[in-house]
Amino acid sequence: MSSKICAVIDYGMGNLHSAHGALQTVAPDTNVLVTSDPETILKADHVVLPGVGAIRDCMAEIRRQGIDQVVAEVRKTKPLLGICVGMQAMMNSSEENGGVDCMGLFPGAVRFFGKDLIENGEHLKVPHMGWNQVSQVAHPLWAGIPDSSRFYFVHSFYVQAEKPEQVKGRGHYGVDFAAAIGEDNVFAVQFHPEKSHNAGLALLRNFLAWDGQA
């Protein structure tokens, strides 16, 4: 086992088992730890913020456990990857549950797809669930992954970024949405790389090899 550590933040709301398993699979020499301990997280070489479920519950736990402060520190120093609701939690706010203040790492809001999402005369189901293409914007985490590769999504809310230059991947489901955002040493994705077969595993492998330089 190498001394390289990847911390998967456990605040009680993430799909931790599959994320841990996928990260360990792509980097068997990395010590992948599921942890809520701030000291362990801050000592790690790479940090992952996962998330599933309702954003209000996620943000309540993040704040109760002081994870927001830990993430703010991580954001200054080392590669940080947000996944699904972990990405949404990095925005300013979410429309979910009548409006929720998030961590504000990126300017922008999380919007509801809507109950009447229609495209080409067809009613689209919400949540957006299944495989969808992602149009890439150049970034080290896309290395070796063909543009417009398909990734696995499960979400009823989507990120609307205020700064177009922070959008590193675009998706479309009735509306255009940010499938990936990034700046400096932070990258976040709306899809689940741990459930996205080869393309998703390649992205996780790229993240664990990434030095945080865009």
Please answer whether residues 74 and 41 qualify as being in contact, where contact means their C-beta atoms are separated by less than 8 angstroms. Answer: yes
Q: How many CA atoms lie within 13 A of 102 on its CB side?
A: 26
Q: How many CA atoms lie within 13 A of 170 on its CB side?
A: 12
Our answer to whether residue 194 is catalytic in this structure is yes
Q: Of these residues, 61, 84, 96, 102, which one is catalytic?
A: 84
Q: Of these residues, 20, 96, 128, 194, which one is catalytic?
A: 194
Burial class (CB in 10 A: 0-12, 13-18, 19+), 150: middle
φ, ψ for residue 28, nearest 5 deg: -60, -20
Q: Which residue has the tokens 């896309």?
A: 142
Q: Of these residues, 20, 128, 155, 192, which one is catalytic?
A: 192
Q: Any idea which residues carry the catalytic annotation? A: 84, 192, 194
